[in-house]
Structure 1
Amino acid sequence: MKKIDKIAATYSELQKKMCQILESADGGGKFNSIPWKKEIGGGESQLMEDGKIIEKGAVNFSFVKGKFSPGMEQLLGEKAGEYAATGISSILHPQNPRVPVIHMNVRYFALDNGVSWFGGGIDLTPHIIYPEDAVSFHRTLKEICDRYNHKFYPDFKKWADDYFFLPHRNETRGIGGIFFDRLKPGEQNSFESLLNFTLDLANVYPEIYDGLMRKYGSKPFSKREKKWQNLRRGRYVEFNLIYDRGTRFGLESGGNTESILASLPADASWKTNYIPPKDGFEENTLHFLRKDIDWINFTA
């Protein structure tokens, strides 16, 4: 489990770099550092509120160790005495409804029984879906995946479609991305290769959002678009509180509650039996909230 100390140091430095890029792209907001420490370990939450473009954002780093509880055994399906985990988790909620929500997580998990793995991914949740942005986003992720294993993108894209899904709404959370877990070093993927894969994803994350903020951050928007944004935020809240495994594990392991729940937007709303206007951007967005869209070869 000693490898995890070096990985934690690398992730911690990367967190600082990500915050610098995002602050520069926002052009006004600043991340405030909130270190935290508990018996299981600690970390640093970098939080931004009321930025020029980012309404609420978090770039969190954690490094924790502790007893592998019965609850963790049930959640992860492993038997062990102790665990250690480190990672970066980030989510950004924008002011402007034309800018999407973005989420990224990379992590390394090790048990004292010798089992260890990487996990993570990136996904995009637009309030208003512009297909050309979805195509560009997925092609960027595919390019990174293909550097390491040509099976990564199709497998992890499918995984994201299935994971970021609200069955009670029969809709995806957004346009997906990639999601992976239990990615263990082996013959096909060395430890160094998998570590570099997670670092490439973390590095491209602020670059992707830089482009989207520059494209849409200063665009005018209507009250109707803002109302729709808050309705879509409600769906985001539903997923994170009901289905998200990171939220569940963080609370089960006794992590920092404020950091765990930093993924929630500043505002959200719900409307009973909402029916969107016919042929509007709302209905068009709902049309794309489904699994298995081939964004790499998508044509309008």
Structure 2
Amino acid sequence: MITKEQIAEEYQSIQDEICEALTQLDGKAHFEQEIWQREGGGGGRTRIIQNGNLIEKGGVNFSAVHGQLSDGLKKVLNVDQDDFFATGVSIVIHPNHPWVPIIHMNIRYFEMPSSVFGDKPVRWFGGGIDLTPHYVIEEDARFFHRQLKNCCDTYHREFYPRFKTWADEYFFIKHRHETRGIGGIFYDRLAANDELSWVDIFEFSKSVGRTFIPVYSELVNRNRNKTYNEEEQNWQYQRRGRYAEFNLVYDAGTKFGLETNGRVESILMSLPPQARWMYNHQPAPGSKEEKTLDFLHKGIDWAS
């Protein structure tokens, strides 16, 4: 059986691979690392890259924590045991270029080592990858979703449609009535069943993690040499505000990290370095900004 130590070790390797590739992609900035310990058990490696040729701020974080769940989290997770172990890699990249998208990726594993939920151990995988363009480019959106579909189809034909819908629902800013971006895939509590073994699901988790670099590198290189003006930069800051709103109000990972006394700087590394909130800002009719807003809704079939 796959152990939690093996999972954590593989996730650390994925963190290393992604950091090396992002350093090369940026061409200027390098990651700063901080090793931290969590009060209550475990710790992690926070890696931050800033002020690069392309990446204004980014984080590629690994954690492996354990301890006891609060009563509130036990209710959220629908478990009645205290001891837990959780490990994962979480990434957010904020580029300095308005035509290069924000990207987020997370792969994670959770277990309650000595407990039983019904007649099965409590253990599952979760994660996903989603894209938040400041300007939606249809060709890029289709490329992104088709690559995710290829990754999912390798393991199960139902994964992409199921996890794409889940992402549409999850990355939705309810108070704005718009999606955070063009979605991607999102899944949680993915466990072994009659069709898929724990090995299969672990391999899928690693494949999601290793999809990040080839997909994002392609999107970056398609757009990094485009020129932009102050108006487009201001729109980027406006869209970053929406990103911050979602992460602070709705994001389950942020809430889990804060509830389990995680390291605040690591948890909030997902926030952009600069954002704006202009009162009742409305894009001009027929503008490329208005066109982007037209794409920020659920149910768009990008992969066909």
Q: Same fold (TM over 0.5)?
A: yes
Residue 23 of structure 2 is matched in structure 1 by 23
Contact 1:117 1:182 in 2 (8 A): yes
Of stretches 247-256 and 180-189 in structure 1, the one that deviates more from structure 2 is: 180-189
Which letter maps to 1:182? Answer: R
- Structure 2 counterpart SS, 1:148: coil
Residue 9 of structure 1 is matched in structure 2 by 9
Gaps of 5+ in 1: none
Spell out, residue by residue over 1:123-166, the C-alpha distance to the aligned partner (whole angstroms, 9 max, x if none): 00000000000000000000010011111000000000000001
Cα offset, 1:177, TM superposition: 0.1
Contact 1:164 1:172 in 2 (8 A): yes
Residue 91 of structure 1 is matched in structure 2 by 92
Of stretches 214-223 and 248-257 in structure 1, the one that deviates more from structure 2 is: 214-223
The answer to whether the aligner puts 1:251 opposite 2:252 as a matched pair is no
- Structure 2 counterpart SS, 1:59: strand
Spell out, residue by residue over 1:243-298, the C-alpha distance to the aligned partner (whole angstroms, 9 max, x if none): 0000000000011110000000000000111110111111000000000000112x
Cα offset, 1:2, TM superposition: 7.7
Contact 1:122 1:179 in 2 (8 A): yes
Hey, what's the Cα distance between the residues in 2 that align with 1:202 and 1:81?
29
Spell out, residue by residue over 1:13-58, the C-alpha distance to the aligned partner (whole angstroms, 9 max, x if none): 1101110011111111111111111232100011001011010000
Hey, what's the Cα distance between the residues in 1 that align with 2:145 and 2:14?
23
Residue 271 of structure 1 is matched in structure 2 by 278
- Structure 1 counterpart SS, 2:154: helix
Hey, what's the Cα distance between the residues in 1 that align with 2:145 and 2:268?
27
Q: 1:225 aligns with which of 228, 232, 247?
A: 232
Contact 1:26 1:213 in 2 (8 A): no
Residue 77 of structure 1 is matched in structure 2 by 78
- Structure 2 counterpart SS, 1:20: helix
- Structure 2 counterpart SS, 1:74: helix
The answer to whether the aligner puts 1:145 opposite 2:145 as a matched pair is no
Hey, what's the Cα distance between the residues in 1 that align with 2:246 and 2:12?
27
What does 1:46-57 align with in structure 2 at a 5 Å threshold? 46-57=47-58
Spell out, residue by residue over 1:61-82, the C-alpha distance to the aligned partner (whole angstroms, 9 max, x if none): 0000001220211221111120
The answer to whether the aligner puts 1:200 opposite 2:207 as a matched pair is yes
Hey, what's the Cα distance between the residues in 1 that align with 2:27 and 2:211?
19
Contact 2:2 2:198 in 1 (8 A): no
Residue 118 of structure 2 is matched in structure 1 by none
Residue 286 of structure 1 is matched in structure 2 by 293
> Identity of aligned pairs, percent?
47
Which letter maps to 1:28? Answer: K
Which letter maps to 1:208? Answer: V
Hey, what's the Cα distance between the residues in 1 that align with 2:90 and 2:282?
34
Residue 109 of structure 1 is matched in structure 2 by 110
Hey, what's the Cα distance between the residues in 1 that align with 2:260 and 2:285?
46
Residue 59 of structure 1 is matched in structure 2 by 60
Hey, what's the Cα distance between the residues in 2 that align with 1:209 and 1:24?
13
Spell out, residue by residue over 1:80-124, the C-alpha distance to the aligned partner (whole angstroms, 9 max, x if none): 120000000000000000000000000000013121000000000
- Structure 2 counterpart SS, 1:115: strand
Spell out, residue by residue over 1:192-222, the C-alpha distance to the aligned partner (whole angstroms, 9 max, x if none): 1111101111111021111122111222111
Instruction: Provide the TM-score with structure 1 as the length reference.
Output: 0.97
- Structure 1 counterpart SS, 2:47: strand
What does 1:145-184 align with in structure 2 at a 5 Å threshold? 145-184=152-191
Which letter maps to 2:54? Answer: I
Hey, what's the Cα distance between the residues in 2 that align with 1:218 and 1:27?
14
Hey, what's the Cα distance between the residues in 2 that align with 1:199 and 1:59?
15
Residue 32 of structure 2 is matched in structure 1 by 32
